[in-house]
Amino acid sequence: MSKEYKSVEEIISDLPAIREVCVSLRETLLANLVMLGEIPAPTFKEEARVNFLMQRFSECGLTNTSSDECGNGLGIVPGKDRTRNILVMAHADTVFSERRDHTVSVHAERISGPGIADNSLGLAVLATLPTMLEKLGIELNSGLVLMGAARSLGRGDLEGPRFFLENNKLPLTSGICVEGVKLGRLSYASAGMLRGEISCRVPEEYDWIRRGATGAILVMNEVINRILGIALPRKPQTSIVLGSVEAGTGFNIIPTEATLRFEVRSESSEIVERISGELEDIIEDVTSQTGSEVTLDVVARREVAGLGIGHPLVKQTREIMSALDLRPHITPSISELSALIASDVPAVTLGITEGEHLHEQRETVKIDPIFTGLTQLIAVLLAIDGGFCDESE
């Protein structure tokens, strides 16, 4: 199939043949998924998983593989045109601690295990992509930069992707971020976001009788009630996710510390900024009312930015998805895509398959839709490589 595509329509006419090759590599992909999925990789501890990924790159015959100071794992398939490079990226970290049992189970139609969807599958796709291209006989004009990104989630705050993009010397034409789920996902803009941690400490000599209160949990409860009182507009879409609360150690021990982790997301940077101001007011107010120490630690921020729906990369991706009977689910991203957009690299995020129980021990992905997801990815790659996704000068 080593041919020069003259249009996206030509690529689309080859979709069934591409899918067939993807299916023929099912065991290779699933073996990579199992082996990557069984290596724990909480944020900041991705080294073993990234090393395995690089070993896979080397075994595929990639001569240029390396890891950088930030722990990202890279493999480069050189192209004929040195001025064009496509970055395909998947985050290597997961939300699961290394103490969690990472055994992966393979069933007839699905695979399950912690982190299998987010994002062991994305990483397994990267590990298998060189073999797929080789079997398809595809030699890209552009260089293909495959990257397992470290320190992406939570407190990692995209440190890995940012580090690479700030220090990379290769001219990048476009980027594709690969997420295990969900097939049909199409992100081409990043949402505004503020991710933070509110900590509350009550002094140990606190006068319990005076307040009638019982420690840090009640103070945090007051903070939460106030947050729930913040008015959120329906348009632009805005939400506040209260992600986790930690406090206390037993039945009758008065807690002196409590922590709340939250994330504000909005299609508008101004609204994120307004909510940020309101949060600070709440904290000041609760501090003065209760005499406890309440602090806000901002862990990550994103600005609203991205491609327009009419950008050729978005347009061609939608064409390809439509040819595969996929209805694009357009959603703004706060993950690696934001780092690419901030570096002025046109990029999209694509999902590979359907899944369920995300971020639970029994996280599961369906096997059959994976091949449609892979076909979509390879077709978008070919469209970028053919120059069909370039913006006109």
28 lies in the site for another protein, by CB under 8 A:
yes
How many beta carbons lie within 10 A of that of residue 284, not counting itself?
12
54 lies in the site for another protein, by CB under 8 A:
no
- Closest distance of CB 31 from another protein, Å: 3
DSSP H or E segment with residue 338: helix 336-342
Two tokens at 206?
């606190």
Two tokens at 1?
């199939």
How many beta carbons lie within 10 A of that of residue 173, not counting itself?
21
Q: Which of 104, 282, 304, 342 binds another protein (CB under 8 A)?
A: 104
**# residues contacting another protein (CB under 8 A):** 15
Q: d(Cα 354, Cα 361) in Å, to the nearest integer?
A: 17
- Closest distance of CB 46 from another protein, Å: 20
Q: d(Cα 320, Cα 323) in Å, to the nearest integer?
A: 5
103 lies in the site for another protein, by CB under 8 A:
yes
- Closest distance of CB 106 from another protein, Å: 4
**Nearer to another protein (CB atom), residue 104 or residue 275:** 104
Q: Which of 9, 20, 59, 139 binds another protein (CB under 8 A)?
A: 59
- Closest distance of CB 170 from another protein, Å: 29
Q: Coil, helix or strand for 213?
A: coil
Taking residues 30 to 49 in sequence order and writing x for each that binds another protein by CB under 8 A, - otherwise, the string is xxx-xx--x-----------
**Nearer to another protein (CB atom), residue 108 or residue 231:** 108
- Closest distance of CB 39 from another protein, Å: 11
Distance (Å) of CA 159 to CA 144, 147, 212, 353: 22, 14, 44, 27
Stretch that binds another protein, among 7-15, 27-35, 45-53, 380-388 (CB under 8 A): 27-35
Q: Which of 107, 169, 210, 235 binds another protein (CB under 8 A)?
A: 107
DSSP 8-class letter at 389: T
- Closest distance of CB 22 from another protein, Å: 14
**Nearer to another protein (CB atom), residue 39 or residue 340:** 39
Question: Contact 73/53 with Cβ under 8 angstroms?
Answer: yes
Stretch that binds another protein, among 103-111, 117-125, 136-144, 148-156 (CB under 8 A): 103-111
Please report, to the nearest 10 degrees, the dihedral formed by the alpha carbons of residues 185, 189, 190, 191 taken in order: -90
105 lies in the site for another protein, by CB under 8 A:
yes
What phi, psi does 329 have (nearest 5°)? -100, 100
**Nearer to another protein (CB atom), residue 127 or residue 177:** 127
**Nearer to another protein (CB atom), residue 62 or residue 275:** 62
Q: d(Cα 353, Cα 185) in Å, to the nearest integer?
A: 9
Stretch that binds another protein, among 101-109, 182-190, 222-230, 339-347 (CB under 8 A): 101-109
Q: d(Cα 159, Cα 308) in Å, to the nearest integer?
A: 26
The answer for residues whose C-beta is within 8 angstroms of residue 267's C-beta and 6 or more apart is 191, 192, 236, 237, 238, 304, 332
Q: d(Cα 47, Cα 98) in Å, to the nearest integer?
A: 12
In 3D, which of 149, 182, 138, 213 has the Cα closest to residue 326?
182
Checking DSSP bridges between strand 238-247 and strand 257-266, what pairing results, if any? antiparallel
Stretch that binds another protein, among 102-110, 164-172, 267-275, 306-314 (CB under 8 A): 102-110
Q: Which of 27, 69, 325, 393 binds another protein (CB under 8 A)?
A: 27
- Closest distance of CB 103 from another protein, Å: 5
Question: Contact 132/22 with Cβ under 8 angstroms?
Answer: yes
Stretch that binds another protein, among 99-107, 285-293, 351-359, 371-379 (CB under 8 A): 99-107
363 lies in the site for another protein, by CB under 8 A:
no
Judged by the rule CB under 8 A, the positions of this chain that interact with another protein are 27-28, 30-32, 34-35, 38, 59, 103-108
